C-alpha cells in the first residue's frame, strides 16, 4: 500500500484499515506458528503497512491540533 493512498483516507477509514491489518497480522502469525504460512515475507509487508497507517493517523492528529 502506497503512502499517497493512505493519506487520501479519512481518520475513521484509517482506524478501520488499522484494525483490519492487525487482524491479518494475527492470522499470519498464527499460520507461521503452526508452519502453514505460504509467504513469510507477507509478515513484514503487513507490519510496514501498520506503521504507515499509524504514521498518517498521527500526522492528521497533529495537523488538527495546530
Quote the pLDDT of residue 9: 94
End-to-end CA distance of the chain: 28
The domain made up of 3-65 is a member of CATH 3.40.50.1110: no
In angstroms, the Cα distances linking 14 to 18, 24, 33, 40, 65 are: 6, 15, 28, 25, 18
Beta-carbon contacts of residue 60 (< 8 Å; ≥ 6 apart):
11, 14
Q: Are the C-beta atoms of 54 and 18 separated by less than 8 Å?
A: yes
> Per-residue pLDDT tens for 27-65?
999 999 999 999 999 999 999 999 999 999 999 998 887
Amino acid at each position: 500500500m502506497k503512502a499517497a493512498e493512505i493519506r487520501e483516507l479519512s481518520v475513521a477509514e484509517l482506524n478501520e484499515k488499522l484494525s483490519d491489518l492487525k487482524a491479518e497480522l494475527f492470522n499470519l502469525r498464527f499460520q507461521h506458528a503452526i508452519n502453514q504460512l505460504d509467504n513469510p515475507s507477507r509478515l513484514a509487508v503487513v507490519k510496514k503497512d501498520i506503521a504507515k497507517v499509524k504514521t498518517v493517523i498521527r500526522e492528521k492528529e497533529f495537523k488538527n491540533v495546530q
